[in-house]
Amino acid sequence: MSATLEDKVVIVTGSGGGIGAVIAARFAKEGARVIVSDRDRGAAEAVASRISGAIAIPADVTSEQDVSALIERTLEAHSALHHVVANAGVIRASHPIAETPLDVWRSTMSVNLDGVFLTIKHSAAAIANSGGGSILTLSSISGTGGTPLAAAYGASKAAVRNLTATAAGELRAQNVRVNALVPGYVNTPLIDSEVPVWESTMGLAPGGFAQIIDQKQGRLISPEDIADAALFLTSDQASMITGSSLTVDGGFTSQLF
């Protein structure tokens, strides 16, 4: 039996670390020719060097020029593009809305929303011209309900789901599926850096966040859990799934208590 993504060309944005790096490695194990892309050139090159057949192409997803060049360079290298994981994202939490500097709002929207928009805008035709494929976006449970102290992050992730649905409708006739993953709290550097800030600004004792995770999610989600779901939505097993959001949160958002 051939591997799930045999010879498929896949770009993963923001894959110089965290969830993206794990998705890139997992997809390569399934036979994909992976493009590790990140605004941090060194991080992208380091991840690509550990993945068989992968190449690094740095790109800042907030720059239309970078995203356009990322697609061009991918086509130069592989003459095709089948799948994109629009994973790059940032969180800068800890401000109530009244104290959120406009630059925090704008820079969050710029990466999390403009970045996904530009990635879809510039990759869709290349995927269609390669015979079809998929685009997977990364939303968050923060986009499904209010997110105190992280308004920009929550709003950007809610918008990503809507953008995903719109893109799915526009691109269906071109054989490009577009879906969103909606993770709960995943064990990555993004979480590590934010937890102490959340605990102090939300008046939780140290360890309070871990307690909430215990009660609501059971455990922190691993990046591998997310890579499994990403692989499913990207694979032909999901060939009739488009415009969907798949929640991977251990039940966090499905229970009131």
Ligand X SMILES: NC(=O)c1ccc[n+]([C@@H]2O[C@H](COP(=O)([O-])OP(=O)(O)OC[C@H]3O[C@@H](n4cnc5c(N)ncnc54)[C@H](O)[C@@H]3O)[C@@H](O)[C@H]2O)c1
Catalogue the active-site residues: 153
Minimum distance, C-beta of residue 182 to ligand X, in the bound complex (Å): 7
Q: Looking at beta carbons only, is 9 or 118 nearer to ligand X?
A: 118
Minimum distance, C-beta of residue 160 to ligand X, in the bound complex (Å): 8
Minimum distance, C-beta of residue 135 to ligand X, in the bound complex (Å): 14
Please provide the DSSP assignment of 30-70 as one string.
TT-EEEE--S-HHHHHHHHHTSTT-EE----TT-HHHHHHH
Q: Looking at beta carbons only, is 222 or 235 nearer to ligand X?
A: 222
Minimum distance, C-beta of residue 172 to ligand X, in the bound complex (Å): 24
d(CA 70, CA 216): 39
For ligand X, the binding residues (CB under 6 A) are: 13-14, 16-20, 38-40, 43, 60-62, 87-90, 111, 115, 138, 140, 183, 185-186, 188-191
Contact, 184 vs 139, CB < 8 A?
A: no
Minimum distance, C-beta of residue 159 to ligand X, in the bound complex (Å): 12
